[in-house]
Structures are given as C-alpha cells and as structure tokens.
Amino acid sequence: LDEGNHLLELAAPRRVLLEGGRVVGLECVRNELGEAGADGRRRPVPVAGSEFRLPADSIVLAIGQGPNLAFLEGSGLELDRRGGILTEAGTRRTSAEGVYAGGDVTRGPAIIVQACADGRRAAEAICQELGLGFRAPFGQAAPVEEILPVKRARARRDAPQEPGLLPVAQRGGFDLVQQTLSVEEAQAEARRCLQCATVCNKCVEVCPNRANVSYLVDPVSWRLPLFACQEGQAKVVGLEPFGLEQGRQILHVDDFCNECGNCATFCVHQGRPFADKPRLFLEEAAFCREENNAFYVEGNSLRRREGGREGRVTQEEGRFVLETDEIALHFKPMWQGLGWIIEDVRLVHEFEGTLSLARAAEMVVILKAIEGWTFLRGSGEEPAA
C-alpha cells in the first residue's frame, strides 16, 4: 500500500477480457458478507448486477495452494459444499467405513496445530474402533525454576520486534522489502514466548474474577479395590486402575464465577473449565443445590455431590475416611505405592453390581492438595478466636 497499490475488498474475478488476442482487463463482481457458517465466519456472496471492469495490460496470478482431491473420484466419500471431505467433528470419521480424514482437506485452510489435533482425534477413534487403549503421552513436568520466569514474562507486555522495511524509493528491484531480524532482535522476540507447553493456566489468566485456581498435586498410579455386596458385607472382588499424571491442576471456585465464558473461549484444549473442572463452593447452601460436580470443604472433610447424591472424604492424621450411601471405608493411601491400605470397611446400604472408588480417589488427591488453603474453608466454619 505504501507503494501506491490498491486493495479491493469483497471483490472477486469473473473472467479475463481479451481484444485481438491481448489482455485488456479483468471483469470482477462485488460481494457482500452472507450468513455465518458453522465456524462462525461470514462467507462472501456475489451481488447481482455489480460486475465491473479493471483495465489491465497484464495480469499476474498470486500463487495459491489447495488440496488436490482428484484421487477421490469414484471413492464414494461424501463431500461438503466447499468440496472438502465431510467428517464427524469428534472422531474425524468419513462416510466410508475405516477411512478418517483431517487437516485442510476437511476444514479448509487452517494452522498446523489444528491438523495435528485432527490426527490425534482420528488415532483415538481408530483405537476405540479396534478395542485398543488410548492414552495421550504427557511430557516431562517443568521444574519450578522454569515456571517462575514464565510467570514473570506473562505479567509483562513486551512489544514485538518489527523487522525493518526497505524505503519505498528503493523498491524498484528484487531486494527484500522486509528485512531479516538481527541476532539480538531474534533473541528478544524469542523471549516473548509464553511457553504454553511448559505451563498452560490460560483459564486462570483470562478469568476476570479469579474463579480458576491453579494448584499442584502429586502424580499417583493406584490400583483401587472394587467392592461388591456378598453375604451382607462389602467385599473386594477386583481391582481398578486409577492414574493422575499431570501434577498441575485447576480448581474452579464457583462462587466467584459469573459464567462470562472467557475460560472456554481461550481454552487451548477446547474445554469449558468453568463447567469441566472440579467446582468448589464456599457456601454450603449453594453446594447442596447442585446435582453434579460440586465440592465443599468442611473442616478436614471434602464433600462431593454427583447425581444428586453426596459422599464425604475426611482426613485424619494421614488416614482417610470415605462415607457414602453404600459404604464407610477407613484407608491409608500409599502416595508412592500402587494402592490403598484398607483398614476397615462397613456396608451401609446394599447395592447392585460393583462399587468404584475412582471418584473417592479424586477427592483424596484434591483434599491433600488444598489442605492448607484456609480461604477455601466453608462459610459454616467459625473463625479462630
């Protein structure tokens, strides 16, 4: 634009105009923005009768790239209105059995990260189809020494390093208009990286009410007992694996949240942290009104509501007590081991099938992590004199 070029917005070429075998112009049509599509973007729609001509003695086509789908002819794969391969959003399955697709051939031009995500979702769906387990690998947890500089960098707003531009008067040849960064400039630009792969916490940073709280837990790998009713008693009938690999977790304080949606908008995992993360309530009355995913701290106990029913885990000098509608269980977790030491179990109410302790294990991990957070104690607790 600095060089006097004109940019015509919402215009599309129709045909090249020729006279005597030579180019004399380009016929274009004006567009207007139509309705938003599934991705939220409004597509250009030609305006009837808006054709116009641009005089020209030469036309240079900009080099563009697009997927070559000629090999799909006769394949029977269902295509969308843009000519891309139609897939299920969550699994990337196509209309043909055993065929999966992702990337630009399904969504149109996008970033490489989205194509990688498509591949991961397809791999997970394929594993499920084959009856195989699927577990996304987690990288090595970053030490505190790496996290602290990242948090300090996120608290600052450093301007990007803009490359120098060749003066307009010197742009008559083939010299680069946009210059390259110097070594010092490149290093300064690299220091602006927010290291999302080291620590995310995006939902913590974008919450205006500080409703999302980051905390650390000790990763565990347990084999939990499965209980069943036998002869009027709760007896162990099997083992269930329970694992927690990520040491950095998020707790949602529901009392602070107004459901603005910021955390969902900026979540790099396409999640809804205000609804997906464990929701802790500071008011007992608000907690009791919830049906699912509700937690409440009461002294040394953590209460939880799921399906309209409540359970409680209490910590007593390194040991824990689980109280549910079905059983009362006294146990000691082996934090560096493979399971729990069961000290006592009492059947409260008979139940059908097997009873899983996975939710209780989640409560144990959370309760241990927040045991020193006095500001999260319930409102019913009297302050110390």
Average pLDDT over residues 336-359: 94
Domain residues for 243? 205-376
Same structural domain, 122 and 164: no
- Whether residue 2 is contained in a domain is answered as no
| 351 falls within a domain | yes
Chain-centroid distance, C-alpha 337: 31
123 in the same domain as 48: no
Within-domain flag for 118: yes
- Note whether 158 and 287 are same-domain residues: no
One domain, residues 99 and 158 = no
- Both 287 and 372 in one domain: the answer is yes
Both 244 and 315 in one domain: the answer is: yes
Considering the domain architecture, whether residues 296 and 352 belong to the same structural domain is answered as yes
- Indicate the residue among 81, 96, 130 that finishes a domain: 130
Q: Which residues contact 328 (CB under 8 A, 6 or more apart)?
A: 321, 322, 345, 346, 348
Indicate whether 275 belongs to any domain: yes
Going by the DSSP 8-state scheme, the letter that residue 282 receives in this structure is S
Instruction: Please tell me whether residues 225 and 372 are part of one structural domain.
Output: yes
Same-domain pairing of 210 and 327: yes
Answer yes or no: is pLDDT of 91 > 50: yes
- Residues 162-186: pLDDT tens digits? 999 999 888 888 888 899 999 999 9
Residue reference for tokens 């529901």: 254
Tell me, yes or no, whether 297 and 259 share the same domain: yes
First CA to last CA distance, the chain: 71
pLDDT class of 382 with cuts at 50, 70, 90:
very low
pLDDT, tens digit (0-9, with 9 covering 90-100), for 228-279: 999 999 999 999 999 988 888 999 999 999 999 999 998 877 789 999 999 9
- Residue 297, classified by CB atoms within 10 Å of its CB into exposed (0-12), middle (13-18) or buried (19+), is buried
Q: How many helices (H) and strands (E) does the chain have?
A: 9, 15
* Residue that terminates a domain, selected from 107, 130, 153: 130
Give start and end residues of each alpha helix (H) in the chain. Answer: 104-107, 112-130, 144-154, 183-190, 202-206, 262-266, 273-276, 284-289, 358-369
Domain count, the chain: 4
Q: Is residue 357 part of a domain?
A: yes
Establish if 86 belongs to a structural domain: yes
Read off the pTM. Answer: 0.61
Q: Give the C-alpha distances (Å, rounded to integers) separating 177 from 5, 61, 166, 173, 221.
A: 15, 20, 5, 10, 56
Q: How far is CA 19 from CA 28, 55, 57, in A?
A: 17, 12, 11
Does residue 106 share a domain with residue 45? no
Residue 197 lies in a domain: no
Residues 15 and 111 in one domain: no
pLDDT of residue 371: 83
**38 lies in a domain?**
yes
User: Which amino acid is residue 16, in one-letter code?
Assistant: V
User: Which of 28, 246, 67, 257 is closest to 139 using CA atoms?
Assistant: 246
